[in-house]
DNA sequence: TTAAATTTTGTAAGCACTTACATTTTATCC
DNA sequence: GGATAAAATGTAAGTGCTTACAAAATTTAA
């Protein structure tokens, strides 16, 4: 069944059928109804490829994330998909991993697939070395690029993010207020967002006139999903470092810290306070439950999709919107 | 840049360019090279919509899951995407939720989007009431339907699944062997897979001549991601029921059971043994770590994609392959 | 009532490919 | 060397839409 069949059965031209399909208002109500009746009767659906060829778009959005099995990404993907679907867009999912070359290939692929836009989930898509962000600027020349939880200034790039600096500042102050000042900051990523978190931690200390000691900011180089290896990492550090609290850039790391504490026989939060980040299901799964930072992922997703839809409808949209996280106080802090 | 430009610059016809693009072997090596040089020089990429129109395919696969933020689904999606990408297929992701009507719409959408095939992730896509599976049979008339962890006999439907019956049989026997015979089975889904698990539990009891008591098979009606409410559910049951072990259809439920035990002051595994299912990250995140069933999700994903690629290349492929799970013994059992 | 303005409809030219079939070129064999 | 087979290439007809522009029908104004 093609548009020709419909036009014939409805006794109109294909142009008129096309107008009805695309909701053009230059069609008389009677004609429109005639066409709709035929479409209904024969259950006609336009061929997407032909539409694509005609309109140079298939109402498709690319979602890029490093790893869809990561809790944060999984949640983001879910929320974004739901919102996009409501707006009649289809999602192409790409799990790029963390390598620049692969990301470049994936992004290129999406541009060639003629998606209407792409959403990059997570701050690791931005590299410190500005030259490495060329792949994003390239893409942004073709289509709008949306970024979830990353901050990048560029024409045709739109960012929605959480004020990570403020979150860890608040978290650190919360610990300091309890009278604990030797706080280990544990992180697993050197992305912009991760570094902002670290800055928040540092700022809190500086504001109180406390010293910044490098050995209290530990970068865990492994995979954060491997909780045991996080715990082992802390064990190896043990002896050289004394701290009364751990603030982690991520719930996984925080859980790793809990595993370490349990192995060492420390009581949480009496001997050791722990704060995570992301308010993932992991934070509710341990005992005691983890105090963590909620970085309003859902809000971010809604915002990103709203922005995207706005752009595609040629509305002016803000290029950067920053939301605020919230410290969720649970059992791992005093 | 179109195929016409390339043909002109290479001094050949568009048919020849098309042949080169599609790897037809009826092109002389010299001509092929000429064309490739032009393609390279001008960085030409064929228009996907026109290709789609010509070939009636865009090398796209639809992945349907209920909820991409669910750990099991998230993992499956990730693995499937990686495998499909290796084979030059693009993934469209759809999170359908659990309602039949929505699933029907999504599946329809994908068929109309002319995906080459769809993969349904999770056994909830199959309904007990056979009439409700009509939407799958409909789709299977158009394109191959692959199912991950579900069992459905139908032309053009291919299933890869784990022997859930055997897994819970083994898990239950494991507990029984420890001398514990009052075992609570906790489940959260009435899908085929879930019911097979329940059967495994029942069989183990029956094989030992133990009675099947309905009150020891509890269906938790809420959302398994809400761990507290799982714990509350068990608390409400408390008093009426005595059991020395819980086998759960899912790690989330098992963690809920741990929360309950902790609240009640039971020592795990001394007072209560717990076994989960799925070997998700949750199982490694609690203390003690959860004994759980690994149902070889990665293997399943590899199998499904391999099967899919086979079908699309017109190879004969087995319609059903059943893998075996494995009990991962950790700290929540004796 | 008629000319002008407006609305509705149709015609036909894209859009950028694939591929059956025809034609030309090259290789093979006697 | 020429007939024949095989390989390489080209021509042109799809593929099913959108949309600029032209034409027809209807409405409005005088």
Q: Which CATH superfamily is domain B3-46 in?
A: lambda repressor-like DNA-binding domains (1.10.260.40)
3-state helix, strand, coil in chain B (%, to 5): 50, 15, 35
What is the distance between the alpha carbons of residues B91 and B121, in angstroms, rounded to a whole number? 13
The CATH code that applies to domain A59-162+298-324 is 3.40.50.2300
Asked if A316 CB < 7 A from strand C, the reply is no
Q: Is residue B102 within 8 Å of B47, Cβ to Cβ?
A: no
Q: A164-295, superfamily in CATH?
A: Response regulator (3.40.50.2300)
Counted residue by residue, chain B has a size of 334
Which residue ranges does chain B devote to CATH 3.40.50.2300? Answer: 59-162+297-325, 164-294
Q: Please determine, for residue A24, whether its predicted confidence score (pLDDT) is greater than 90.
A: no
What is the rounded distance in angstroms from the CA atom of residue B88 to the CA atom of residue B84? Answer: 6
Nearest to A69 among B67, B74, B286 (CB): B74
Of A49, A73, A79, the CB nearest to B53: A49
pLDDT at B25 over 90: no
Whole-angstrom CA distances from A265 to A179, A268, A271, B260, B290 are 22, 9, 9, 23, 19
Tell me how far apart the alpha carbons of residues B147 and B192 are, in angstroms, rounded to a whole number: 13
The alpha-helical segments, DSSP class H, found in chain A are 3-10, 14-21, 29-42, 48-55, 71-86, 100-112, 134-142, 164-177, 192-207, 227-237, 251-264, 297-312
Query: In sequence order, what DSSP letters do the residues of B83-142 get, joined into one string?
Result: HHHHTT-EEEEEE--S-HHHHHHHHHHHHHTT-SEEEEESGGGS-SSGGGGHHHHHHHHH
pLDDT recorded at residue B312: 95
pTM: 0.95
- CATH class, domain B59-162+297-325, is alpha beta
For an interface test with B, which of A1, A3, A90, A141 has the most B Cβ atoms less than 10 Å from its Cβ? A90
Distance CA B10, CA A327 (A): 63
Give residue for tokens 């099991």. B72
d(CA A190, CA A159): 19
- Residues of B (227-246) whose Cβ lies below 8 Å from A: 227-228
Task: Tell whether A258 lies on the interface with B, counting CB pairs under 8 A.
Answer: yes
- Helix or strand (DSSP H, E) at B73: helix B71-86
- Mark A202-225 as b/e (b = at least 16 C-beta within 10 Å): bbbbeeeeeeeeeebbbebeeebe
CA distance A130 to B117: 40
Assign A330 a pLDDT band (cuts: 50, 70, 90). Answer: very high
Output the CA angle B319-B320-B321, nearest 5 degrees.
130
CB contact under 8 A, B52 and A52: yes
In a mutational test of the A interface, the residue from B57, B62, B69, B231 whose CB has the highest number of chain A CBs within 10 Å is: B69
| A284·B56 Cβ contact <8 A | no
Q: Could you give the CA distance from residue A138 to residue B152 in angstroms, rounded to a whole number?
A: 46
Tell me the C-alpha distance between A220 and A189, whole Å: 8
Chain C, protein-covered positions (CB within 7 A): 7-12, 14-20
What is the chain B residue with the closest CA to A88?
Answer: B109
Return the biggest CA–CA distance within chain B: 86
Residue A51 pLDDT > 90 = yes
For chain A, how many residues are written? 334
pLDDT-based confidence at B174, cuts 50/70/90? Answer: very high
> How far is residue B209's CA from residue B131's CA, in Å, rounded to a whole number?
37
Q: What is the pLDDT of residues A186-233, one digit of tens each?
A: 999 998 889 999 999 999 999 999 999 999 999 999 999 999 999 999
- Segment A127-150, tens digit of pLDDT: 989 999 999 999 999 999 999 999
Give the bases of strand D that a protein CB approaches within 7 Å.
Answer: 7-12, 14-20
* pLDDT beyond 90 at A259: yes
Contact between A245 and A258 under an 8 Å Cβ cutoff? The reply is no
Alpha-carbon B318 to chain mean position: 18
Give the pLDDT of residue A25. Answer: 80
Q: How far apart are CA B333 and CA B177, in angstroms?
A: 11
Is the CB of A93 inside 8 Å of chain B's CB atoms?
yes
Residue B250, Cα to own-chain centre: how many angstroms?
14
Find out whether B128 and B289 touch, Cβ atoms under 8 Å: no
Q: What is the mean pLDDT of residues A250-278?
A: 96
Q: How many CB atoms lie within 10 A of CB A41?
A: 11
Nucleotide nearest B13, from its CA to each C1': D10
Spell out the residues 6+ positions from residue B282 whose beta carbon is closer than 8 angstroms to its own.
A281, A282, A285, B71, B251, B252, B255, B276, B290
| Orientation angle between helical segments B71-86 and B297-312, nearest 10 degrees | 40
Token couple for A67 = 């790893």
Q: How confident is the model at residue B57 (pLDDT cuts 50, 70, 90)?
A: very high
Could you give the residue range(s) of every CATH 1.10.260.40 domain in chain B?
Answer: 3-46
Specify the domain boundaries for CATH 3.40.50.2300 within chain A: 59-162+298-324, 164-295
Instruction: Measure the CA–CA gap between B331 and B289, rounded to whole angstroms.
Output: 5
Q: Nearest nucleotide to A27 by CA–C1' distance?
A: C8
The confidence score (pLDDT) of residue A238 equals: 85
pLDDT at A116: 98
Residue from A154, A215, A163 nearest A192 by CA: A163
CB contact (8 A) between residue B81 and residue A75: no
Write the DSSP string, B28-69.
-HHHHHHHHHHHHHHT----HHHHHHHHT--SEEEEEES-TT
Average pLDDT, integer, range B215-235: 95
Of B48, B113, B287, the CB nearest to A262: B287
At the top level of CATH, the class of B164-294 is: alpha beta
Matching residue, tokens 């200390």? A205
- The predicted pLDDT at position A26 comes to 85
């Amino acid at each position: 069944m093609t548009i020709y069949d419909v036009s014939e059965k409805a006794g109109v031209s294909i142009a008129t059928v096309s107008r009805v399909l695309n909701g053009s208002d230059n069609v008389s109500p009677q004609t429109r109804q005639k066409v709709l009746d035929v479409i209904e009767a024969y259950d006609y659906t336009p061929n997407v490829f032909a539409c694509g060829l005609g309109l140079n778009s298939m109402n498709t959005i690319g979602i890029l994330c490093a790893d869809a099995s990561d809790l944060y990404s999984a949640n983001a993907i879910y929320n974004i998909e739901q919102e996009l679907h409501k707006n009649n867009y289809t999602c192409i999912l790409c799990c790029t991993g963390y390598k620049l070359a692969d990301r470049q290939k994936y992004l290129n692929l999406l541009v060639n697939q003629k998606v209407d836009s792409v959403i990059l989930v997570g701050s690791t898509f931005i590299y410190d070395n500005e030259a490495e962000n060329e792949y994003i600027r390239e893409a942004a020349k073709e289509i709008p690029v949306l970024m979830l939880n990353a901050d990048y200034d560029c024409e045709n790039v739109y960012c929605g993010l959480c004020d990570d600096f403020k979150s860890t500042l608040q978290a650190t102050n919360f610990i300091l207020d309890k009278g604990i000042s030797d706080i280990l900051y544990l992180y697993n990523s050197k992305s912009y967002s991760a570094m902002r978190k670290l800055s928040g931690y540092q700022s809190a200390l500086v504001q109180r006139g406390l010293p910044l000691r490098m050995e209290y900011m530990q970068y865990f180089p492994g995979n954060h999903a491997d909780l045991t290896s996080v715990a082992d990492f802390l064990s190896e550090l043990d002896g050289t470092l004394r701290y009364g609290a751990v603030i982690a850039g991520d719930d996984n790391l925080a859980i790793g810290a809990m595993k370490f504490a349990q192995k060492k026989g420390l009581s949480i939060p009496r001997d050791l306070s722990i704060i995570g980040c992301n308010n993932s299901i992991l934070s509710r799964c341990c005992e005691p439950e983890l105090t963590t930072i909620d970085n309003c992922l859902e809000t971010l997703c809604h915002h990103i999709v709203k922005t995207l839809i706005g752009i595609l409808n040629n509305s002016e949209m803000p290029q950067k919107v920053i939301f605020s996280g919230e410290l969720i106080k649970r059992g791992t802090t005093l």
